[in-house]
Structure 1
């Protein structure tokens, strides 16, 4: 009795070993079908670094202007709020806050704003009057001016606005082409993007 039971147990174990315990199976065509490995996590720091390197190759004069500036964020001031109503207002309107930018990022934004301003409004330049003209001018400067970058007010003489990101993860540059023309840099907003959010939650 004991010998038969032992033989049965050993036979069952041998079958389990030969089956591979489910780690590898074969499909109808005989090809191995291994279980998928966990997908690697995205390295956002490396992605931002690569985007910054592409930017510096495309705009070497701006990279030189901002060389040597810190690429890390300044330390945020500590301390708790002492005005509950003001704290609640700030919390409810947090979606309108701009994310802080590094000293180098701020410098890049100012340099690009100056570059765009000179190209669009400098001596001998004709300020774009339509969305198509503004989009063409921005793309001619090497910026992505796809959907959502350029907006126009109503009517033939409506104000033109634009908001673009200098590079992936970089500062925003935007402005209005009206009297007076205003082009400036700012950080992206808490909820993402370069256009100021219209509503909260």
Structure 2
């Protein structure tokens, strides 16, 4: 009787071993699964910033240095010396006429720039101005020449980014992969004014002609 029971136990144990081995294999495979999950998905903002920095390493270096200076100075909140494109949530004036004017012109409100975006806007503005007004440079003869110069600098010009208004040549660029706007125009005296700012409430970098 004892011999038969022992033999039966051995048979049962032998039958159970494959199942136990398979179970252990499945668990090990599950633990080692490297399939990306939602929690591990890339941050689109960070990805865009990385692509921007690869496209414009000079701007990336300048803003990295600025960020280092700001973090080293506890009294600097990142707003000193930057170009603020305007607040997206300004308080309306209390005077009725002034309040009405502000409401009617709210479409000209520009989005607020973060310290990082403001640095990029300023750096791109300085970069463009230096390239277009450096030694020996003259104002572009027209839209085509200006568009060509901006494309050579790495900016996208495919629509109304370059324009002429009232005889004045200008541009309004949305910085690739970063977001701030850089706009500029030539003055009557031939000088170039450049400004970095946020996107307009109506959308885009070109100042809207009217609102609703």
Q: TM-score range by the shorter chain?
A: 0.5 to 0.7
Between Structure 1 and Structure 2, the one with more helix by share is 2
Change (3 A) 1:89 1:79: closer
**Residue 122 of structure 2 contacts residue 196 of structure 2 at CA under 8 Å; is this kept in 1?**
yes
1:51 to 28, 37, 48: 48
In structure 2, stretches of 5+ residues that fail to align are 1-37, 71-76, 79-86
Q: Match of 2:206?
A: 195
Change (3 A) 1:137 1:89: same
Residue 66 of structure 1 aligns to a residue in which SS? Answer: helix
**Residue 117 of structure 2 contacts residue 178 of structure 2 at CA under 8 Å; is this kept in 1?**
no
Describe how 1:82-161 pairs up with structure 2 within 5 A.
Answer: 82-153=94-165, 158-161=167-170
State TM-score, norm by structure 2.
0.63
Number of residue pairs aligned between Structure 1 and Structure 2: 154
**Structure 1 residue 135: deviation in Å?**
0.6
**Residue 111 of structure 2 contacts residue 201 of structure 2 at CA under 8 Å; is this kept in 1?**
yes
Change (3 A) 1:63 1:81: same
2:195 to 184, 188, 194: 184
**Residue 109 of structure 1 contacts residue 185 of structure 1 at CA under 8 Å; is this kept in 2?**
yes
Deviations 1:161-182 (CA, angstroms, capped at 9, x unpaired): 1000112451111111342221
**Residue 128 of structure 1 contacts residue 134 of structure 1 at CA under 8 Å; is this kept in 2?**
yes
State TM-score, norm by structure 1.
0.66
**Structure 1 residue 153: deviation in Å?**
4.1
Structure 2 CA distance for aligned equivalents of residues 119 and 196 of structure 1? 24
Q: Match of 1:21?
A: none
**Residue 172 of structure 2 contacts residue 205 of structure 2 at CA under 8 Å; is this kept in 1?**
yes
Structure 2 CA distance for aligned equivalents of residues 137 and 76 of structure 1? 32
Structure 1 CA distance for aligned equivalents of residues 89 and 206 of structure 2? 26
**Residue 88 of structure 2 contacts residue 110 of structure 2 at CA under 8 Å; is this kept in 1?**
no
In structure 1, stretches of 5+ residues that fail to align are 1-39
**Structure 1 residue 77: deviation in Å?**
8.4
